[in-house]
Chain A
Amino acid sequence: MGSRFLAPAGVIALVLLPLLLQAIDQAYYIGFAARILIYAMAASSLNLILGNGGMLSFGHAAFIGAGAYTVGILAAEGVASAWIAWPLAIGVAALVALIIGALSLRTRGVYFIMITLAFAQMMYYIFVSMKGYGGDDGLNLGSRSVVGYGIDLKNELIWYYVCLVLLLAVLVLLNRLVEARFGRALEAMRENETRMSAIGFATYRHKLVAFVIAGAIAGLAGVLLANHSSFISPKLMHWTQSGMLMVMVIVGGVGHRYGGLIGAVVLLGLEELIAEFTLYSQLGVGIVLLAIVLFAPQGIAGLFARSQTRHGS
């Protein structure tokens, strides 16, 4: 059965979910669901470079942080309009991705993993030392961004739908990119970069463009994350955040169309579920992850469909 019916069914389910939660008096979970959507966006952007591009970036949280801090700093300086702050934040994240990518893509393999990690750590420490904007303790935004037109982002239901619409837009964009010549070429570079370069593709530039697109989308996820909790802190850029995003992609399915979404749902859902029963939720998460690597190498999406990806490094 194709994803032809699966995708519309999924969208309908996501649209109806908050209404259902309200009906059964569990409105608390609407915010939780919005958080999952935001992480799904971040993980999907990572999946473009990690899954389709074969670039094992261990510093993706840096772009989330760039987006979140742009919104946060603007808010602290009195600019609350989403129409100014959000595009600017995405631009800043893209710029950061351009700089980090341009340097990191000169290396490959393990060195690429490590240098992206190092850049993310740099960002982390830079914001830890920025005492003017909260430093280690983080920064309270006070409120969510202002959109106008009668749309109040502070309303949890509206907020959920804003996140949903943006996530769907990102997923459509990413899918079209992957289906297009751009994505096909990217996947071919993952399999054999030398050959792609021999037949005339500018592989470095091509990969860098993918890296910047992924960074910009992660920046948008950062914008949403900052708004979601109205709070930012360097923890957004901590290396475990990058690790968690990687875990989401791998759990969901590397290079799979909905790998990021599935991964975010499974991982955050699992965390929440295990936290119901025990204080030691990370133990359960760790054991499940280990089991997935050892017994389901293709991720959860791969359990249902034969995944077409073989990622190299």
Chain B
Amino acid sequence: MSTTLLLEQSLNGLQFGLMLFLLAAGLTLVFGIMDMINLAHGSLYMFGAYLMATFAQATGSFALALPLAIVATGLIGVLLEVTILRRLYQRDHLSQVLATFALILIANECVRLIWGSQPMMLATPAMLSGPVELLPGLIYPSYRLLVIGVGLAVAALLYWLVACTRTGMLVRAGASNREMATAMGVDIRRLFTIVFCVGAMLCAVAGALLGPLLAVQVGMGEEILILAFVVIVIGGIGSIRGALVGALLVGMVDTIGRAFLPMFFGAFLPPQYAASLGPGLASILIYLLMAAVLFWKPQGLFPARG
């Protein structure tokens, strides 16, 4: 019984971690290359989820809506980069925080204006709505398996893109030393628009896939944005590998903590204390993890800059 539960929660943790990775990957590159803090990254995730829900309702097909939502969010990302964010690269972190904080407010209100304040429903595709039996006794929703599969595929694709292609090489060069890359003739401006577009599309994938599992609502971007920040700070800013490790770590620790800490405390504490201490500690666990990592390795686990 206990092993089954542990396996199930590990799969949940893996699934959550992979989705966090999709968000963190774009964020860490933007951070690493341009030294730019983009709080509005979570808004792209929100737009992705809303567009997905809209397209799914309009076309009636999950498989058709997904690419549409991804492309549309990518376009929004490019538009945002070219019109506003580009002006902020040369500015200090403070201005970037303020400007992108303003963008969050604007994005949330725009979503409220277009789609209303009520959360939107995004159904799981019909053929994936049932559970499957992975192992004897381990029954798992097939939709979550799809999310894990897509997450792994996108992570692999991204790894190939960054590690094996010429664009990826330029991205890595830009992240480790922007001035030097520019001096060697890399068009950082264009590169950055590409990175931003890819980052927005990754947000859309995460938003679209998590839509049926979480609620599609205003403000959904901010909660997960902070987690994505925790991930990249743990992993080391600018490092894709760090983002992957950090995301899986955060996803696992958070999920496992929420599932088992209440039980753990329940074993030796009176129920009224365990009931509040368990969930309380579980929700701050990842922040403790981050503080610990920063305390011992202030540059994160995999610093991109040598």
Residue ranges of A at the interface with B (Cβ–Cβ < 8 Å): 50, 56, 58, 103, 106-107, 109-111, 113-115, 117-119, 121-122, 125-126, 128-132, 239-240, 243, 246-247, 250-251, 254, 280, 282-283, 285-287, 289-290, 292-294, 297, 311-313
A288's nearest neighbour on chain B, judged by CB, is: B102
Task: Write out, one digit per residue, whether chain B residues 27-66 have a CB within 8 A of any chain A CB (1) or not (0).
Answer: 0000100010101000000000000000000000000000
Task: Write out, one digit per residue, whether chain B residues 290-306 have a CB within 8 A of any chain A CB (1) or not (0).
Answer: 11001100111000000
Q: Bound state CA distance, A313 and B36, in angstroms?
A: 12
B91 within 8 A of A: yes
Q: Bound state CA distance, A132 and B280, in angstroms?
A: 12
Our pick among A113, A132, A246, A286 for the contact of B103 (Cβ within 8 Å) is: A286
Stretch in B150-158, B187-195, B226-234 touching the partner: B226-234
**Distance from A106 Cβ to chain B, minimum over Cβ atoms (Å):** 6
A110–B93 touching, CB < 8 Å: yes
Q: Bound state CA distance, A135 and B109, in angstroms?
A: 28
B82 within 8 A of A: no
Main secondary structure of the interface of A (DSSP, over half): helix
Q: Which residues of B contact A282 (CB under 8 A)?
A: 105-106, 108-109
A285–B294 touching, CB < 8 Å: no
Q: Which residues of B contact A128 (CB under 8 A)?
A: 280, 283
B229–A114 touching, CB < 8 Å: yes
Which of B88, B93, B299 has the most CB atoms of chain A within a 10 A radius of its CB? Answer: B93
Which of B87, B94, B279, B300 has the most CB atoms of chain A within a 10 A radius of its CB? Answer: B94
A289–B101 touching, CB < 8 Å: yes
B98–A289 touching, CB < 8 Å: yes
Q: Bound state CA distance, A113 and B103, in angstroms?
A: 19
Q: Bound state CA distance, A72 and B275, in angstroms?
A: 22
The 9 residue pairs across chains A and B that have the minimum distance between CB atoms: A129-B280, A286-B105, A283-B109, A289-B102, A286-B106, A125-B283, A290-B102, A293-B99, A313-B93
14 A-B residue pairs with CB within 8 Å: A56-B97, A107-B298, A111-B299, A117-B229, A119-B287, A125-B287, A132-B276, A240-B222, A282-B108, A283-B106, A283-B113, A293-B98, A293-B99, A313-B93
B281's nearest neighbour on chain A, judged by CB, is: A129
B288 within 8 A of A: yes
Q: Which residues of A contact B106 (CB under 8 A)?
A: 282-283, 286-287, 290
A117-B226, A128-B280, A282-B105 given. 14 additional CB < 8 A pairs? A106-B298, A107-B298, A109-B93, A110-B233, A113-B93, A115-B233, A115-B294, A283-B109, A289-B101, A289-B105, A290-B84, A292-B98, A293-B95, A312-B92
**Distance from B222 Cβ to chain A, minimum over Cβ atoms (Å):** 7
Q: Which residues of A contact B283 (CB under 8 A)?
A: 125, 128-129
Our pick among B84, B91, B275, B287 for the contact of A121 (Cβ within 8 Å) is: B287
Task: Write out, one digit per residue, whether chain B residues 77-118 have a CB within 8 A of any chain A CB (1) or not (0).
Answer: 000000010011001111101110111111011101100000
Q: Which residues of A contact B102 (CB under 8 A)?
A: 247, 285-287, 289-290, 293
A118's nearest neighbour on chain B, judged by CB, is: B287
Q: Bound state CA distance, A60 and B92, in angstroms?
A: 20
Q: Bound state CA distance, A254 and B92, in angstroms?
A: 12
| Contact status of A122 and B94, CB under 8 A, knowing A106-B298, A286-B103, A294-B99 | no
Q: Bound state CA distance, A11 and B287, in angstroms?
A: 43
B105–A285 touching, CB < 8 Å: yes
B134 within 8 A of A: no
Q: Which residues of A contact B92 (CB under 8 A)?
A: 311-313
**Distance from B91 Cβ to chain A, minimum over Cβ atoms (Å):** 7
Which of B88, B98, B294 has the most CB atoms of chain A within a 10 A radius of its CB? Answer: B98
A-B residue pair count with CB separations less than 8 angstroms: 138
Which of A115, A131, A251 has the most CB atoms of chain B within a 10 A radius of its CB? Answer: A115
Our pick among A113, A286, A287, A312 for the contact of B97 (Cβ within 8 Å) is: A113
**Distance from B261 Cβ to chain A, minimum over Cβ atoms (Å):** 11
Q: Bound state CA distance, A121 and B290, in angstroms?
A: 12
B6 within 8 A of A: no
B290's nearest neighbour on chain A, judged by CB, is: A118
A120's nearest neighbour on chain B, judged by CB, is: B287
Q: Which residues of B contact A126 (CB under 8 A)?
A: 280, 284
**Distance from B223 Cβ to chain A, minimum over Cβ atoms (Å):** 10
Q: Which residues of A contact B233 (CB under 8 A)?
A: 110-111, 114-115, 118
B220 within 8 A of A: no
A254–B291 touching, CB < 8 Å: no
B237 within 8 A of A: yes
Which of A103, A114, A297, A312 has the most CB atoms of chain B within a 10 A radius of its CB? Answer: A114
Q: Bound state CA distance, A292 and B276, in angstroms?
A: 44
Q: Which residues of A contact B275 (CB under 8 A)?
A: 131
| Contact status of A113 and B298, CB under 8 A, knowing A280-B112, A286-B105, A290-B106 | no
A297–B91 touching, CB < 8 Å: yes
B279–A283 touching, CB < 8 Å: no
B291–A103 touching, CB < 8 Å: yes
**Distance from B62 Cβ to chain A, minimum over Cβ atoms (Å):** 31
| Contact status of A56 and B93, CB under 8 A, knowing A110-B237, A111-B233 | yes
B37–A115 touching, CB < 8 Å: no
B117's nearest neighbour on chain A, judged by CB, is: A279
| Contact status of A246 and B294, CB under 8 A, knowing A119-B287, A312-B92 | no
Q: Which residues of B contact A130 (CB under 8 A)?
A: 276, 280
Which of B31, B92, B105, B276 has the most CB atoms of chain A within a 10 A radius of its CB? Answer: B105
